[in-house]
Amino acid sequence: MTYGGSLRLVARQGGRRIEGWTDLQWLVAVERIKQVQALYCYCMDVKDWDGYQAVYAEDAVLEVPAHHVESARRIEGRREIRKFVEGTVGAVATVHQCHTPVIEFVSTDEAVVVWAMEDMLRFPDGSATKTLHGMGHYFQRYRRVGEDWLIAHNVLARLRVEVT
């Protein structure tokens, strides 16, 4: 599979803009998407599972790659995503950082976003794996529901993984 799969963007400056949107409308949409991703990271790291679930659309999809800790997975539905992530990292100390979003609006209600990411996971004492340090990207599709932007599809792709 191509890195990022169907959500991989073609690089271009300025991103795709929606005809008829003012610069202010574009900036507000961009900032709302950034806030959703910030909440995604924050809620996962502080184990706020209600908040984590709330950043996803009802019919969202999460795809995670295979690594030394677990095999590749595709999870559908925000409740199932929450259950999977809570079960996978609920007892793990995590730090997630996302940077430099590339945002392209497909329509007034849909955007494709790529985030550079880095995560550090420290597993509980006695675990076979002590740490996982990953670097790569999130490839995401956001959907606007009312005034809220929600993650509709989230693909984690790592370029480098260090496991101890």
* Lookup result for tokens 């790569």: 136
Burial class (CB in 10 A: 0-12, 13-18, 19+), 105: buried
Report phi then psi at 36, rounded to 5: -60, -45
- Edge-to-edge, what's the strand order for the sheet holding 110-122? 73-76, 56-64, 148-163, 131-145, 110-122, 93-107
Secondary structure of 65-133 in HEC code, one letter for each residue: CCCCCCCCEEEECHHHHHHHHHHHHCCCEEEEEEEEEEEEEEECCEEEEEEEEEEEEECCCCCCCCEEE
From the DSSP assignment, how many helices (H) and strands (E) are in the chain? Answer: 3, 6
| Residue 113 amino acid letter | V
pLDDT for the residue 12: 62
Which residues does the chain have with pLDDT short of 70?
A: 1, 9-16, 68-70
pLDDT for the residue 11: 59
Report phi then psi at 12, rounded to 5: -160, 145
Domains and CATH numbers, the chain: 16-163 (3.10.450.50)
pLDDT for the residue 56: 98
Cβ proximity of 72 and 94 under 8 Å: no
pLDDT for the residue 69: 56
